[in-house]
Structure 1
Amino acid sequence: MCPVPAHQTPGVGRVSHVDARIEKVVTSGKVMLDDTEYDIESNTYVVGDDDTVIVIDPAFDAEAILKAVGEREVMAVICTDGRDGHLSAVLEVAEADEEDPAPIALHTRDRLLWRQHFRALANESEDAEFMKDLTPDLDIEDGGVFEIGDAQLEVMHTPGHTPGSICLYSEQLGVLFSGDTLHKGRPGRIGADYPELQEQLNSIGALLGPLPKETRVLPGQGDETTVGEEDSQWESWFALAQEPDES
């Protein structure tokens, strides 16, 4: 039930019954992007069984997230990208058990965003000076696998929204945690612009193609969808580059 290091992927086979379950916690807060502040609602997912969980993208309200965790042990905290929203409650959730804090996992290519976030917090308060030297505990890469209960979460690197954006696919649970790579009905974004839309669309296309169409897609914001529903729209999204700003 511990994270499996990247590139040591065990065999994955569909099982008839899985004890692991998924709970969603919706929180709201503010994020800064290109000197503009946005109000967003963010989805945090608590994945596990009666004893242990992995927390995906703890945002804004650590108390609400830890209420969903309950008495279970947090084995890892995974951030699907390094933007402010997905880091805003990461320390409180990971360190809820002060004697045995959970490791925080982030893709190596989003370490710059991590440093920018925590150094900005450190500059705001003398009590937060320690944050300048914080680093993620686990560098996750494409093909890595996390195990929790009787389910596995496979890391899929999906650059575009950020350089280190990832999704997590669980064959056993029949779900794709898509972070802000993919939202219902369009590529994920915060604000009006897509930093690297072409790269993001290429990532989405490579992501959706091989997966079963009935796979549930659980995004970082908004409602869930399915692989089939989003795959049918993928080509139309290339026109988003010509859309006017909507923020």
Structure 2
Amino acid sequence: MIEAVVVGSMFTNAYVFTTGDLCILIDPGGDGEKLIAILDRMSLVPDAVLCTHGHLDHIAALGQAMNHFLALGKKPKVAVHELDCKYFGTQAYESHKRSFEGLGIMGEGYFESLFMPVPDPEVILRHDSLFLDSSLKILHTPGHTRGSICLYVPEEGILFSGDTLFQEGIGRTDLPDGDSASILKSIGEYILPLPPDTRIFPGHGNETTIKWEKRHNPFLY
């Protein structure tokens, strides 16, 4: 089951994904109250919180969500790729501030309104590894950030692509740690070879498929 929740001022897609006995919150985004209300309505507490990358619009609500889970006597494991760990814990404030500096005064003001402390991750993700001893596969797809990842669920033909690949678009690479050549290489090597009917659930915007992006994404040809 996939429950998509659009959260925060950047309209980030947070996902509640359940498969078998495993429940994963993917990219908690920037609206903890909305996310918590939906999880409570579903009577779910995730086993893990997986962050496709460390940008603030995808993780700002992490601290609030974790405090809620802890109050319920649960402690989901927070997971992120090792190259994006600097966006968490004690390094978070300065790392996120640098990301917004390139956006000028407007970006700096927006950063101050959005930033909330986020806890350190417990699980460090690496390419081609299986997440929490399940069949869920981690794909390291640098480009939007150095530590961007996608989560591939082969049995269900599903890919959570974060900000690497969107419907008819790709993630921006003009912020610190972004690299346009890397994101195109990541998509070409690890995403486009997946089965054409693979459903893609991106970090922003609508669901799409590999087949559709090969035909219609102007950044890929």
**TM class by smaller structure:** 0.7 to 0.9
**Structure ranking higher in strand proportion:** 1
* Structure 2 portions without partners, runs of 5+: 97-111
Q: Equivalent residue for 2:8?
A: 28
Note the 1:24-103 alignment, pairs <5 A. 24-29=4-9, 40-48=10-18, 53-70=23-40, 71-98=43-70, 99-103=73-77
TM superposition score normalised by structure 1 = 0.70
* Structure 1 portions without partners, runs of 5+: 1-20, 30-39, 240-247
Distance 1:43 1:84 in 2: 13
Give the 3-state SS of the residue equivalent to 2:131 in structure 1: strand
Amino acid in the other structure paired with 2:38: A
Q: Equivalent residue for 1:138?
A: 123
Q: Equivalent residue for 2:188?
A: 205
Question: What is the CA distance between 1:193 and its match in structure 2?
Answer: 10
TM superposition score normalised by structure 2 = 0.78
Answer 1 or 2: higher relative contact order, Cα 8 Å, separation at least 6: 1
Amino acid in the other structure paired with 1:145: L
Residue deviations 1:72-116 (CA, integer Å, cap 9, x gap)? 231000100011111111122233222322111010001223354
Distance 1:44 1:75 in 2: 15
Give the 3-state SS of the residue equivalent to 1:46 in structure 2: strand
The 1:195–1:52 alpha-carbon spacing in structure 2 relative to 1, beyond 3 Å, is closer
Note the 1:96-245 alignment, pairs <5 A. 96-98=68-70, 99-114=73-88, 115-118=90-93, 134-146=119-131, 152-189=135-172, 195-233=178-216, 236-237=218-219
Greater C-alpha Rg: 1
The 1:42–1:66 alpha-carbon spacing in structure 2 relative to 1, beyond 3 Å, is same
Is the CA contact (8 Å cut-off) linking 1:94 and 1:103 kept in structure 2?
Answer: no
Is the CA contact (8 Å cut-off) linking 2:159 and 2:201 kept in structure 1?
Answer: yes
Give the 3-state SS of the residue equivalent to 1:43 in structure 2: strand
**Structure ranking higher in helix proportion:** 2
Over the aligned positions, Cα root-mean-square deviation in angstroms equals 3.0
The 1:90–1:211 alpha-carbon spacing in structure 2 relative to 1, beyond 3 Å, is same
